[in-house]
Amino acid sequence: MQIVERIDGKSNSAYTEQDMELLEPAFLADNILPRFAKSTSAKKIIDFMAQQIVRKPGNLQLHLNRIYFYQQQSDANGVYGALLDLFIVLQEKGQPLRQRLLKKYYAELTAEQQSILSNWLAGKRDENAPCPAVKESRLSDGRTGTSGVLAAKEKPSGQAQTRDVVEDARDLIDSGQVGEATVLLKKALLVNPQREEISRELMLIYRHSHNLQAVEKILQSTKNLPLALQPQWRELSAELQKEVGKDNRQYRC
């Protein structure tokens, strides 16, 4: 597998811009992903970076690329969500970096978003205070101090096979086979509905694909099962229902 690290026409790269549009994000080096913010591959790259943030939250370069990517798309909520994820990862560390980024992207944020990140930077963060809902954040659970999603939980040895299923699904996603990964995760969820990692990975896919029907099917098929993160599943359903309602209103107009 060759990882494309340069797309500059002055290099000896054999790839044309059209070739790059056809490549999966997994085959592009992190440092060139932002070059495609305005390309037809943008949505695919956003989904890929979101998956990578969950898998590798400590990759600061990926966070920076993601923030810049959203800024290039003029996506204010995306900029805030990506900044929020970086603040969550760093917590109270990286003060100069957080300060520099907040100053750079301050004008992109709403007054409420500015206040939350400014208070965090000043050490006035309330860990249990709610923060504006933004679906672009992958590491937040709606509280400004959330960091539990970053903690990898130890699993009993008896769950080794299920853990392998999740890793297999992530490998499929990284190679662009999201459909196959989804099937794998759905089967794993029905076998082990209590495992949070399966629910979290599957919700991430459905959130980015805006697949309300699939979410409702999961809730229906597990209504008599101890489904992990059930409140979050219901919140996702409500969120996607609002999107459908908004789209319908725009269509009628």
CA distances from 168 to 28, 156, 159, 193 (A): 20, 19, 14, 18
Reported as a single tens digit per residue, the pLDDT across 150-197 is: 333 334 444 444 346 888 888 787 767 888 889 999 988 998 899 998
Instruction: Give 36's Cβ-side CA count (13 Å radius).
Output: 26
Q: Exposed, middle or buried: residue 17 (CB in 10 Å: 0-12, 13-18, 19+)? A: exposed
| CATH ID of 157-252, from 1.10.10, 3.40.50, 1.20.120, 1.25.40 | 1.25.40
Q: Which two tokens stand for residue 147?
A: 């960091």
Which residue in 127, 37, 55, 49 sits closest to 87, CA to CA? 127
What is the location of CATH 1.25.40 in the chain?
A: 157-252
Q: Could you tell me how far CA 163 lies from the centroid of its own chain?
A: 20
When pLDDT is averaged across residues 3-11 and rounded to a whole number, the result is: 45
- What are residue 4's DSSP bridge partners? 28
When pLDDT is averaged across residues 6-34 and rounded to a whole number, the result is: 52
Which residue in 196, 195, 215, 202 sits closest to 169, CA to CA? 202
Q: How far apart (Å, rounded) are the C-alpha atoms in residues 121 and 106?
A: 13
Whether the CB-CB separation of 29 and 20 falls below 8 Å is answered with no
Reported as a single tens digit per residue, the pLDDT across 112-146 is: 899 989 988 888 776 666 666 577 888 876 554 44
When pLDDT is averaged across residues 222-251 and rounded to a whole number, the result is: 84
Whether the CA torsion 166, 170, 175, 177 is positive or negative: it is positive
